[in-house]
Amino acid sequence: MAKIIFFNHYHRGDLLTHKEFIRQIKTELDGVEYEYMHFNHPKLTRDLDVPLTGDPTNLDPKTPFYQEEEALYINTWIGCHWDIFSQCGGINMDSLMGQWSRIFQIVNECFGTNLAINPNRDYYLPKIDFNRFDISHIDDYLEKNKDAKKILICNGAPKSGQSFASNMKEFLEPLALENTDTHFICTEKFSTVVDNILFTEDIILDKEAVEKRAPWEDRALNNCDLQEISYLSENCNAIVGKNSGPYVFCETYNNYTNPNKKFLSFNVSWGIGKATTETMSHNMHNFMKCEYKIIPVEGPHKGDLNLLTSDDIANINTALDTLVKSL
């Protein structure tokens, strides 16, 4: 067996959260050829230096492994290890370490290696080599706005009901008008005349969004600026989000280990006293140096997050105002 082929049928966040586990395999296992198969933009796995060779249409998304004479296929989707996913409460470092411990065991059996999970959880926080992407326009913005306080707002609607759907315009416009020395940089655009509400797409100007696609990319979203958003987040004072894709790309090693960084996360709580749907921050607080605050949101009817309760609205406004005043 001389090849490992990673595959994933799902979304962008899935391709980020396990990158450091793949890097460990590549570092400790020599003489092996590597490939990746997924449906997303090739930029998302570019800095792994693993060629994207197609999509996994012909592979079962629920099957963890395939073994052939010359190749081991590894499914990197946490959902195919449902027992671990359920026991650990979803996607978080507990479930990821459980998943990859199982994967390492299979790799050891196939290649005679001694891969082992690093007990230091921060070892697996995602790292992105930003030199592999066009960040020049972001640097231009940062250079011209050195004195402005900057908050990245991941304001898009989460795909799986992790938080409320609003683009947060109703919360941000009054706040921005009261704090003109702060730039509120949003990942989802909305109409506004407030000068210090900015949008990532206008800062990033992603030239690679129009690059020619390979044949297997027909199902991929061609416009992908998540690595650039991540770079911008590492140069902001604070990050606000709702566990959406852009927010996950801000949950990096550099941000989590920065004592000057502040996170504010709005997430579902299915009732008073019940846990929110946090992901990468779960059980990570002993390893995080940033300030990380979670604000539960409920919605009026057991999580109807198209509508917010008066308590939700008050809590969101208070949390945002407190964050801005703390910068």
| Distance separating the N- and C-terminal Cα atoms of the chain | 54
Helix (H) or strand (E) holding 7, with range, is: strand 3-8
Q: What is the pLDDT of residue 230?
A: 96
Tell me the pLDDT band of 69, cut-offs 50, 70 and 90.
confident
Question: Taking Cα atoms as reference points, which of 276, 234, 1, 284 lies closest to residue 127?
Answer: 234
**Cβ neighbours for 269, distance < 8 A, ≥ 6 positions apart:** 275, 276, 296, 297, 298
Q: How far apart are CA 266 and CA 164, in angstroms?
A: 8
User: CATH topology for 132-326?
Assistant: Rossmann fold (3.40.50)
The closest of 15, 64, 18 to 40, measured between CA atoms, is 15
For residue range 14-55, what is the model confidence (pLDDT) as tens digits? 889 999 999 999 999 988 999 999 998 888 899 999 999 999
Residue type, 270: W
The domains of the chain are located at: 3-124, 132-326
Give residue 127's identity as a one-letter amino acid code.
K
Helix, strand or coil, per DSSP, at residue 36: strand
Confidence at residue 215, expressed as pLDDT on a 0 to 100 scale? 47
Look at residue 284 and give its three-state secondary structure. Answer: coil
Distance (Å, whole) CA 56 – CA 54: 7
Under the banding of pLDDT at 50, 70 and 90, the label for residue 218 is very low
DSSP state of 238: E
H or E element in which residue 253 lies: helix 253-256
pLDDT band at 217 (very low <50, low <70, confident <90, very high): very low
